[in-house]
Amino acid sequence: MTKLMLRALAGETLPVPPVWMMRQAGRYLPEYRATRAQAGDFLSLCYTPDLAAEVTLQPIRRYGFDAAILFADILLLPQALGPKLWFETGEGPRMETTTTPAQVAALRPAEAVHETLAPVYETLRILSRELPKETTLIGFAGAPWTVATYMIAGRGKDEQAGAHALKSQDRATFQALIDKITEATILYLSAQIEAGAEVVKLFDSWAGSLHGQDFTDFAVAPAARIIAALKVRHPQVPVIAFPREAGDGYIGFARTTGADCVAVDNSVTPEWAAENVQKDGCVQGNLAPHHLVTGGEDLIRETRRVVQAFRGGPHIFNLGHGITPDASPDNVARMIDAVRGG
């Protein structure tokens, strides 16, 4: 029998939606914290296949999610292109900046990323052997705009100002950087599929800061190019796109990019997304992550609201963004029970 996740992605309306969570392998779980301590630091965890596979498997063992997403980081790809990457404790990622034509030109060729990223592919091979037969394996990458914001600013959070400035002041250099990331992302996701990923997802975490023609040029166009290239290489493998906080940009995003599913964040209501986005196919989302911290009747009610809103079409239950480190593991179990009718 085809896996529930793949059935939803193929456009089937199911009586109970498949469920998984963004960042489901993470700091809210004590077993994750123990494995990360064993690795020593975050990048070592990402680049040690046995440990990266272990943390990917932990939420599957605990909760029985319908999908497992590869444990990695969107900044591994730009690191593979050449810029130095490190993580500051309590502050997040830091990256050597790429802001000039010479720096863009000096990035490694897209084909060269595989050497650095070989451990990621080995993690996927381990997972494809060890996951339960009913569990779908998801690979992923950051979308070019979001990756570019990190490469230009050298850090994340709300640091898109540098990317907007470069885009305005030197659009040719900015476009060259987007093209380089796009080319490398096609090769990276294709290699993930060859290593065992059954679905891939593009995370455009900062898509919401793009507007008008910029949204078309730097959120829609790169996604469309990546998805088209992947469909040539792997026509049966579905692609999920997540242009977070896109607002009205969600409307028609599946049609214009070729995505098999559009993930929506919790800045839009599930009812709005059902009316405006689900008409084009599968939708993923979109419970607000704070409910997994606060719990209680609100968690159960809002989980059921999301399920009810999307019940008329293909749907994958998920959060509107990643689960936060202060979430309760018990609340995750309650959410899953509510999705599945408990």
Partners of 286 in the β-ladder: 318
Domain tally, the chain? 1
Predicted confidence at residue 1, as pLDDT, reads 63
- The residue-averaged pLDDT of 183-201 equals 98
Assigned domain for 58 exists: no
Assigned domain for 231 exists: yes
Assigned domain for 18 exists: no
Partners of 85 in the β-ladder: 95
Which residues, at least 6 apart from 174, have a Cβ–Cβ distance to it below 8 Å? 148, 163, 166, 167
Assigned domain for 154 exists: yes
User: CATH no. for residue 110?
Assistant: 3.20.20.210
Q: Please state, in angstroms and as integers, the Cα–Cα distance from residue 244 to each residue in 61, 267, 273, 281, 321, following that order.
A: 29, 9, 13, 18, 8
Q: Which of 32, 47, 121, 150 is catalytic?
A: 150
Full domain range(s) for residue 114: 71-263
331 upstream amide cis, omega within 30 of 0 = no
Which residues, at least 6 apart from 325, have a Cβ–Cβ distance to it below 8 Å? 26, 27, 28
Return the higher-pLDDT residue of 2 and 230: 230
Binned at pLDDT 50, 70 and 90, residue 236 comes out as: very high
**Start-to-end CA span in the chain (Å):** 24
Predicted confidence at residue 308, as pLDDT, reads 98
Predicted confidence at residue 106, as pLDDT, reads 97
pLDDT reading at 303 higher than 70: yes
Binned at pLDDT 50, 70 and 90, residue 247 comes out as: very high
Active site residue 23: yes
Active site residue 36: yes
Active site residue 28: no
Q: Which H or E element spans position 85?
A: strand 85-88
pLDDT tens, residue by residue, 213-222:
999 999 999 9
Predicted confidence at residue 159, as pLDDT, reads 65
pTM, two decimals, is 0.97
Predicted confidence at residue 92, as pLDDT, reads 82
Q: Which of 7, 27, 33, 155 is catalytic?
A: 27
Binned at pLDDT 50, 70 and 90, residue 91 comes out as: confident
- Proportion of the chain above pLDDT 70, given as a percent: 99
pLDDT tens, residue by residue, 111-159:
999 999 999 999 999 999 999 999 999 999 999 999 999 999 998 766 6
How is 137-198 classified by DSSP, letter by letter?
EEEEEE-HHHHHHHHHHSB-TT--HHHHHHHHH-HHHHHHHHHHHHHHHHHHHHHHHHTT-S
pLDDT reading at 93 higher than 70: yes
Predicted confidence at residue 87, as pLDDT, reads 86
Tell me 106's DSSP state.
H
Q: Which of 28, 32, 47, 73 is catalytic?
A: 73
Q: Which of 33, 36, 155, 305 is catalytic?
A: 36
Assigned domain for 44 exists: no
How many residues does the structure list for the chain?
Answer: 342
Assigned domain for 244 exists: yes
How is 38-80 classified by DSSP, letter by letter?
HHSSHHHHHT-HHHHHHHHHHHHHHH--SEEE----TTHHHHH
Predicted confidence at residue 35, as pLDDT, reads 97
Q: Is 95 helix (H, G, I), strand (E, B) or coil?
A: strand
Average pLDDT of the chain is: 96
Assigned domain for 299 exists: no
Predicted confidence at residue 16, as pLDDT, reads 97
Assigned domain for 286 exists: no
- The residue-averaged pLDDT of 280-302 equals 98
